[in-house]
Structure 1
């Protein structure tokens, strides 16, 4: 549409059909024929609009009637021009409003996108904070557990080592006294049997005191008492300690076999590594239902120490295996497990620049491989 400031042509004001209709009506009113010409032929009168000549009206009428017809035609053009101007103004106003609405819509969309991105960032930050909180809870739980074990081991070491020392010393003295007493009594079958049983009782008691002392020593190793936080670690010794603790917990009836290779020492946290081995062994123990064994092996493979703990237990389906390392995820009954064992084990290995791999088949067992780089 033309702008209202532009000059109008005749066809802008009236369409050719309307022009023909208007000429027809003028002819019926006057009884004469009318024609529109683009140029003056001497018998036509000018049609003006806004001081511009838009055409020439020709009619076979007296001058006064001819001029009246021209004025009537110009009046129609005047109101047609007013309509066109109003239409143009309305169009321009509508177009301006539409452009303004478009700009506002674009601003709203930009704002919506901005807040959407902000919401996504906030969601990511919340999720990150939740992960940090869960990890902190996990570390606090693990730290509290290690402290509790350490305090327990320290208490056991202090309370048991001294009386165990007394008992061991007294048993040795009792053995000496028994030898002297046996030498001073008459030799007879009954006396020999009595002294043989007595020696057996003393030897069994001495073996029991050594076993108690070994358990206390294992607890001290497990809880890292008397060792620096970061030290050279004998992985085989830590595995053996963890195995003995598991066996002691199971009253020495656990079907467990060891096949330990020669390993170099690695720098690390002995207590945490012991905890990692213990956690995996504990899971393996609880997976044994109807018989089966646990096999533990160590070796050097691809410039890394590998500890393989394999059980012949119930195994896991793929959906459970995929979530095995999730914190607080457990398939045990409420109160029977925290769901942190494997998660803590993974974090301990990661802290030593290592990794944990797990393979399992339902009904066939599970194999956990713990890898620690040599360098």
Structure 2
């Protein structure tokens, strides 16, 4: 579940009308105060003050979303008043009403950042400015909330990483969830829907483990969406975690009231719980393997390195995904606000064009020219689009990291082998992008049946080998095509090639032609084993001095009928 952010100005207007934003109006002229109360009182709750000192007292005692002040008042002037209010609460909307003839006041206001300026007579301009100020306040609050969420997420992840066993991981997750305002209890279940076994129960007060946590040696993350069901006044939300030899693990939570923010936290916690347990299982696999006397020393070292890389990749992916997700959300909100600003400016120009006061239109044109507003808006739109493109690339790279960090599921499904190739290529080119040139030729091919994560690992291994054979500089040729009911992927390089007497040995376990410390000889042996388990094979052709071509062949999935 994700928070749905609407960019529609009408939606935000209804929000302010229904929630009755509070506005403090300050002016020493009672007629002006009454006029502003009448004009704004339909949509907002308006309170008035005729002195700056009175306004500050009210601001200390009560909550306000926006303050509107005249410039010239006895005692403290409007600029000083709004400046002090901004120091007390930087998110409050601040609007200064000036007269066109009051040049000194206008210059003082222009020098103060964060204050909107409206000239008398204001007509529709004041209403538009109030809405902009309130929307800016809402956006600032969203940014602050995002930072709070980011910090809370880091605390949870840090605690899970420091946990020494699965029980501590589950305890951290359950305490986090039951700390949400609307959550009454949470539980961890194992088994089918009809008669699951409850392993743990948590309330806002404590966490109880009703039995041991029977983790299997391998787990397969489910990745399905959460399910929501209502039972009387209580909402039950359930997230599938993973499946192992014992059955399906689930996280269930009971809410008094559904709040989107807390639903997001629930799913965030479920994802982190899966990742933390995966890390634990991966480390335990290495520990068990270390205790087996028949494991060869070189193979054990490689497995430990792979485990460490997997842990690192998973951690890096999460550290990237969280802030990138917030940036993507905020860019969407920013794009909506930019559209609203452009619409407001167009409306203002139409109002001025139809006004009998030609001087106002000329002054507005001069302001636009002075600040180059049209060009600034165009630049903002381009900057926003470039930011969105960049953050989407970051999120894609993070997703690829998580894919390669995870153990492949034993479940098989149909997939396009080109998707695996492109995902693997992204990871390889990130390291070798400066010296490798790509040549690609892809034909439409049928789906294949198998594990896309494992096939992707094979393709990545072959591309890394090709890049290393060329010492990071050369031409990498990739092709996908169909031939005799085989889906084929060929990976060619312009390296030195493989001597003929070694071609028959390169798939032997622990055989390598690399220098000591650079290879273990497990890569091609494991790759061939994976592809053969998929019903396929790997072929290689090479001539000394002309590079090598590895071809992965997988059975095409033929449609019945």
Say whether 1:187 aligns with 2:187.
no
- Counting only pairs closer than 5 Å after superposition, residues 193-204 of structure 1 correspond to structure 2 as 193-204=375-386
Structure 2 counterpart SS, 1:330: coil
2:393 corresponds to which residue? Answer: 211
**Conserved? CA contact 1:222–1:238, under 8 Å:** no
Say whether 1:161 aligns with 2:321.
yes
Structure 2 counterpart SS, 1:202: helix
Label 1:274 to 1:226 Cα distance change in 2 as closer, same or farther (>3 A).
Answer: closer
1:324 corresponds to which residue? Answer: 506
Kindly state the Cα deviation for residue 148 of structure 1 after the two structures are TM-superposed: 4.9
Higher helix residue share: 1
Give, in whole Å, the separation in 1 of the partners of 2:297 and 2:483.
33
1:286 corresponds to which residue? Answer: 468
Say whether 1:273 aligns with 2:455.
yes
Give, in whole Å, the separation in 2 of the partners of 1:253 and 1:291.
4
Structure 2 counterpart SS, 1:155: helix
1:174 to 317, 334, 342: 334
Kindly state the Cα deviation for residue 241 of structure 1 after the two structures are TM-superposed: 0.9
1:231 corresponds to which residue? Answer: 413
1:365 to 520, 523, 547: 547
**Conserved? CA contact 1:224–1:270, under 8 Å:** no
Kindly state the Cα deviation for residue 308 of structure 1 after the two structures are TM-superposed: 0.9
Kindly state the Cα deviation for residue 355 of structure 1 after the two structures are TM-superposed: 1.6
Kindly state the Cα deviation for residue 291 of structure 1 after the two structures are TM-superposed: 5.1
2:236 corresponds to which residue? Answer: none
Give, in whole Å, the separation in 2 of the partners of 1:373 and 1:142.
30
Give, in whole Å, the separation in 2 of the partners of 1:180 and 1:312.
54
**Conserved? CA contact 1:215–1:245, under 8 Å:** yes
Label 1:144 to 1:289 Cα distance change in 2 as closer, same or farther (>3 A).
Answer: closer
Label 1:354 to 1:134 Cα distance change in 2 as closer, same or farther (>3 A).
Answer: farther
- Counting only pairs closer than 5 Å after superposition, residues 1-375 of structure 1 correspond to structure 2 as 138=299, 148=308, 150-181=310-341, 184=345, 186-188=367-369, 190-223=372-405, 229-251=411-433, 254-289=436-471, 292-374=474-556
**Conserved? CA contact 1:306–1:372, under 8 Å:** yes
Kindly state the Cα deviation for residue 269 of structure 1 after the two structures are TM-superposed: 2.4
Q: TM-score, normalised by structure 1?
A: 0.56
Kindly state the Cα deviation for residue 306 of structure 1 after the two structures are TM-superposed: 1.4
Kindly state the Cα deviation for residue 278 of structure 1 after the two structures are TM-superposed: 0.7
Give, in whole Å, the separation in 2 of the partners of 1:135 and 1:358.
27
Give, in whole Å, the separation in 2 of the partners of 1:226 and 1:134.
22
Structure 2 counterpart SS, 1:312: coil
**Conserved? CA contact 2:438–2:475, under 8 Å:** yes
Give, in whole Å, the separation in 1 of the partners of 2:472 and 2:407.
37
Give, in whole Å, the separation in 1 of the partners of 2:426 and 2:327.
23
- Name which one, 1 or 2, has greater alpha-carbon Rg: 1
Give, in whole Å, the separation in 2 of the partners of 1:311 and 1:271.
23
Higher strand residue share: 2
Give, in whole Å, the separation in 1 of the partners of 2:437 and 2:453.
25
Count of residue pairs brought into register by the alignment: 243
Kindly state the Cα deviation for residue 237 of structure 1 after the two structures are TM-superposed: 1.2
Kindly state the Cα deviation for residue 275 of structure 1 after the two structures are TM-superposed: 1.1
Structure 1 counterpart SS, 2:445: coil
Kindly state the Cα deviation for residue 223 of structure 1 after the two structures are TM-superposed: 4.4
Superposed CA RMSD in Å reads: 3.3
Compare 226-235 and 298-307 and name the one that shifted more: 226-235
Residues 338-360 of structure 1: CA deviation (Å, up to 9, x unaligned): 32221221121222232211111
Give, in whole Å, the separation in 2 of the partners of 1:205 and 1:226.
33
Kindly state the Cα deviation for residue 164 of structure 1 after the two structures are TM-superposed: 1.4
Give, in whole Å, the separation in 2 of the partners of 1:198 and 1:225.
43
Structure with the bigger RCO (C-alpha within 8 Å, sep 6+) is 1
Structure 2 counterpart SS, 1:337: coil
Give, in whole Å, the separation in 1 of the partners of 2:409 and 2:522.
25
Gaps of 5+ in 2: 1-292, 346-363
Give, in whole Å, the separation in 1 of the partners of 2:428 and 2:505.
25
Give, in whole Å, the separation in 2 of the partners of 1:136 and 1:302.
42
Label 1:332 to 1:225 Cα distance change in 2 as closer, same or farther (>3 A).
Answer: closer
Residues 162-195 of structure 1: CA deviation (Å, up to 9, x unaligned): 3212101112222333444555484338333333
Give, in whole Å, the separation in 1 of the partners of 2:296 and 2:443.
34
Q: TM-score, normalised by structure 2?
A: 0.39
**Conserved? CA contact 2:491–2:550, under 8 Å:** yes
Structure 2 counterpart SS, 1:187: helix
